[in-house]
Amino acid sequence: MKGFVTRQIAAKIEQQKNKFPIIALTGPRQSGKTTLLKELFNDYRYVSLENPDVRAFATDDPVGFLKLYNERVIFDEVQRAPGLFSYIQGIVDDSGQMGQFILSGSQNFHLLNSITQTLAGRVALFKLLPFDFSELKGAGIPNVSYAETAVKGFYPAIYTREIDPVVFYANYVQTYIQKDVTELLNIRDISLFRTFLGLCAGRAGQLLNINALANECDISQPTAKAWLSILESSYITFQLQPYYQNFNKRLVKTPKLYFYDTGLLNHLLGIRSPEDFEQNRLKGNLFENMIIAEFQKKNYHQYLHKDYNFWQDSNNREVDLLIKTNNGFDIFEIKATQTISASLFKELDYFEELTPNLVIQKNLIYGGGEDQSRTKYNVISWKNI
């Protein structure tokens, strides 16, 4: 498949571009930000701050730079010239023009810090992640097994340029570590960070134990925290927070670690084929990671602004995904199995028993291909979430 794939977030950006002077789009490298912005704003000038000459101009003479590029312009990788932000603020405050600047960047930490400190109230902020399920369906990409989908991953170039996933992810990891990590952290031993990344992959879908992670990698706890923050700021990993309010029980208050893309995750674990995936001892965690990441992608791409959590007590009774509603919760059990049995619903029922005065919508997301509407439960195929 080649060509432009319609992104869900495009319609949301269209709705806001005449309401804010600045549109900002963040997301991981290679998620399709530049392609999308050039499609949506095809009459705007495009300027990449990755170009060292352009960056030098912007850094050395921001006033002159913004006289040349003063409106209807896309600044890509704009976090590389943070000195521009205060000048941009003054320009948009004076002009009152909507959609004057489009900003894009792949380093969440630097870009969001600059926006929060300088451009708050003037910018509509969007996040573009790799393809979600509905985008692949909309592009006519045929349904395959969950194992094949998880291993292939969701980065656009794998589909639009038909790049072998093994080749893509090997290059992605090398480029990511060499460019982003070395710029954001003063790491002397790059191979040690690569080891850390692999150890994080082995913990995907599990409670995040910083001490154990640091010990296994032979680094300090503060270093492990700093490295995790880099993985999050560059959209490699995210943490799902526990829900622990209003329960008369001892509850887990430690977050769980997930990767935004299961193709990258599987690559880091040495999983290269659907057969490898099916036989891997972490199969259940990897399937859960794909589903949780899909909810996160939909949250950002559809501009939903929802909070997602999990719930777990001290006896390891658990709800994989919990979404608060006006009068209760939508709760989800996530299982890779293709066979439905009564035991799959026991955690959902247990949670409902603890919350008798709330409306609980119980959902099972499983590895089969058909949805089922049961009396007490929604059974949802992984393909249809």
Q: pTM of the prediction? A: 0.95
Domain boundary (95, 127, 159) is at 127
Domain boundary (127, 161, 191) is at 127
Domain holding 89, by residue range, is 9-127
Claim to verify: residue 107 and residue 152 sit in the same structural domain: no
Two structure tokens written together for 97: 């023009």
Q: Does residue 37 lie in a domain region?
A: yes
CB-CB neighbours of 289 under 10 Å: 27
Share of the chain above pLDDT 70, in %: 98
pLDDT, tens digit (0-9, with 9 covering 90-100), for 314-351:
999 999 999 999 999 999 999 999 999 999 999 999 99
Claim to verify: residue 41 and residue 163 sit in the same structural domain: no
Q: Does residue 375 lie in a domain region?
A: no
Q: What is the pLDDT of residue 125?
A: 94
Claim to verify: residue 82 and residue 220 sit in the same structural domain: no
Claim to verify: residue 23 and residue 45 sit in the same structural domain: yes
Q: What is the pLDDT of residue 15?
A: 96
Claim to verify: residue 267 and residue 195 sit in the same structural domain: yes
Share of the chain above pLDDT 90, in %: 84
Q: How many domains is the chain partitioned into structurally?
A: 2
Q: Does residue 25 lie in a domain region?
A: yes
Q: Which tops the pLDDT comparison, 248 or 56?
A: 56
Q: What is the pLDDT of residue 110?
A: 65
First-to-last C-alpha distance (Å) of the chain:
23
pLDDT, tens digit (0-9, with 9 covering 90-100), for 367-379:
999 999 899 999 9
Two structure tokens written together for 290: 């794909």
Order the strands of the 318-324 sheet from edge to edge. 206-207, 256-259, 237-242, 309-312, 318-324, 328-335, 359-366, 378-381, 372-373
Average pLDDT over residues 23-45: 96
Is residue 357 predicted with pLDDT exceeding 80? yes
Q: Does residue 158 lie in a domain region?
A: yes
Claim to verify: residue 164 and residue 182 sit in the same structural domain: yes
373 strand-pairing partners = 378
Claim to verify: residue 115 and residue 219 sit in the same structural domain: no
Claim to verify: residue 113 and residue 140 sit in the same structural domain: no
Q: What is the pLDDT of residue 2?
A: 63
Q: How far is CA 288 from CA 57, 79, 118, 229, in A?
A: 46, 33, 38, 22
Claim to verify: residue 113 and residue 142 sit in the same structural domain: no
Q: What is the pLDDT of residue 120?
A: 86
Average pLDDT over residues 24-29: 94
Claim to verify: residue 105 and residue 148 sit in the same structural domain: no
Reported as half-sphere exposure (CB side, CA atoms, 13 A), residue 341 has a value of: 5
Q: Does residue 335 lie in a domain region?
A: no
Alpha-carbon distance of 378 to 373, in angstroms, equals 5
Mean pLDDT in the chain? 94
Domain boundary (249, 284, 319) is at 284
29-33, 137-141, 291-295: the lowest-pLDDT one: 137-141
Claim to verify: residue 89 and residue 206 sit in the same structural domain: no
Q: Does residue 38 lie in a domain region?
A: yes
Q: In terms of C-beta density within 10 A (0-12 exposed, 13-18 middle, 19 or more buried), how is residue 252 classed? A: middle
Q: Which tops the pLDDT comparison, 4 or 56?
A: 56
Two structure tokens written together for 242: 């526990």
- Give the β-pairing of 359-366 and 328-335: parallel
Alpha-carbon distance of 318 to 332, in angstroms, equals 10
Q: What is the pLDDT of residue 133?
A: 96
Q: Does residue 77 lie in a domain region?
A: yes
pLDDT, tens digit (0-9, with 9 covering 90-100), for 65-115:
999 999 999 999 998 999 999 999 999 999 999 999 999 998 766 677 778
- Give the CATH number, domain containing residue 56: 3.40.50.300
Claim to verify: residue 50 and residue 119 sit in the same structural domain: yes
Is residue 3 predicted with pLDDT exceeding 70? no
Q: Does residue 307 lie in a domain region?
A: no
Helix/strand/coil for 52: helix
